[in-house]
Structure 1
């Protein structure tokens, strides 16, 4: 049996990951932050004990540690951890406007440190598995070379920092056979701006399917003894500049 953990699983891409992993037979631990969304509850009715819903706020140390305790009650391994939870923050203010630095700190705390909290809390379970894979959902917004924006400070900087964090994590866990994937999910139809972004190129499930296929290809390479280079990847598997 294979086990996966998904953060930010209430809706959008996170819920898409949960649904697609369940279809593939994984036992999934879904980190729930917004309990007023019903998608996870509907999947729970369908999949029963194959899905475990856990309350998880990646911005809080205590919440992450309690989630790790609960997961360890059910399994001694996690094949895949998907750090998906993220917030957008202010995308309008530029350097000539009034900037809310506390808000930027909150975005950084969720998008960058939140992923690190989770990877830190679950690293031993990941390294105890056969797959040993941590997946960080980054963004083209974190690419310094490709950047053309004049705002989005919190989001862009937090995703660039997530990319560096991914490298630091990989440098350590590769000693135990672990690997990290850093993925740009495409422009997904999500609610990150407070309403559905219907102009997105990908539905959550379409993006999740493409990204899980990349995870599967990566695992085949790793299990064959290859050591794929860490890079920021698009949904089609092509590389983006850091």
Structure 2
């Protein structure tokens, strides 16, 4: 596994589980969290002294991302891996015949689509000096080829936009041996809808393990377009 990694959305859920797993593997982890206080991060910092660098990060805010990038680049020249995990769900119930909340959609797009682009832009130099690898946590919800929902406007459109943005970044990176991976973590028990969804198939720890395994198995592939795959199976998802 890469030795210097940045992960976003590490307050809880998959992001926190990825942080734990990467620390266990001996990585130095820069962990961005939306909230300033995190007891679990404090515990991990004690368990892995000098390995965890926690910082406050709002990927929907330009200044926050720029400050985070400056912090990281002061401490390391190269970044082996950027995992853009942070995102928000937004409204998932309203259909086209309802009164739609366009401000909600814009917020979801700003965070879930543009957030990863902000991070890649701000950290592009250390990424290309390091492992030349970006992993964007996408979703099957971003697939136009297998779209079936009649709601979830903000999230589905944001993930589709994230996929396109990832492809554009990949087109630039592959010229110099870099690549972007798009990974769908599966249906994960999370608080994205506001409450813990215990009916979901995977726990955050299971999803994180699948993601790390998929990164390890795919990280050396440099193809014409990013791999867009399920974490647990490795099956490609139609664009």
Tell me the TM-score range normalised by the shorter chain.
over 0.9
Residues 10 and 35, structure 1, Cα contact 8 Å, conserved in 2: no
Select 2:237's aligned residue among 216, 233, 240: 240
Q: Give the corresponding residue for 2:118.
A: 117
Q: Taking structure 1 as the reference length, what is the TM-score of the superposition?
A: 0.94
Match for residue 173 of structure 1? 173
- Three-state SS of the structure 2 residue aligned to 1:43 is helix
Q: 1:230 aligns with which of 194, 203, 226?
A: 226
Structure 2 counterpart of 1:199? 199
Which residue of the partner structure matches residue 183 of structure 2? Answer: 183
TM-superposed CA distance for 1:10, in Å, is 0.6
Contact persistence 2:5–2:28 (CA under 8 A): yes
What residue in structure 1 maps to residue 214 of structure 2?
214
Q: Distance in 2 between matches of 1:217 and 1:151?
A: 34
Range moving further from structure 2, 80-89 or 36-45: 36-45
Matched with 1:44 is: 45
TM-score under structure 2 length normalisation = 0.95
Structure 2: where are the runs of 5+ without partners? none
Mapped to 2, the partners of 1:228 and 1:234 lie a distance apart of 19
> What residue ranges of structure 1 are gaps of 5+ in the alignment?
none
Contact 2:171 2:224 (C-alpha < 8 Å) held by counterparts: no
**SS in structure 2 of the partner of residue 165 of structure 1:** helix
Separation (CA, whole Å) in 2 of partners of 1:140 and 1:35: 31
Aligned partner of 2:99 in structure 1 is: 98
Deviations 1:15-63 (A, max 9, x none): 0110111111110000010235432222122112100001110000000
Aligned to 1:157: 157
Deviations 1:103-161 (A, max 9, x none): 100000000111000000001101001x2110000001111121111110000000000
User: How large is the RMSD of aligned CA atoms in angstroms?
Assistant: 1.4
For the 8 Å contact 2:8–2:15, the answer to whether it is kept is yes
Q: Do the aligned partners of 2:4 and 2:29 also contact (CA within 8 Å) in 1?
A: yes
Q: Secondary structure at the match of 1:241?
A: coil
Corresponding residue pairs, total: 237
Distance 2:227 2:17 in 1: 23
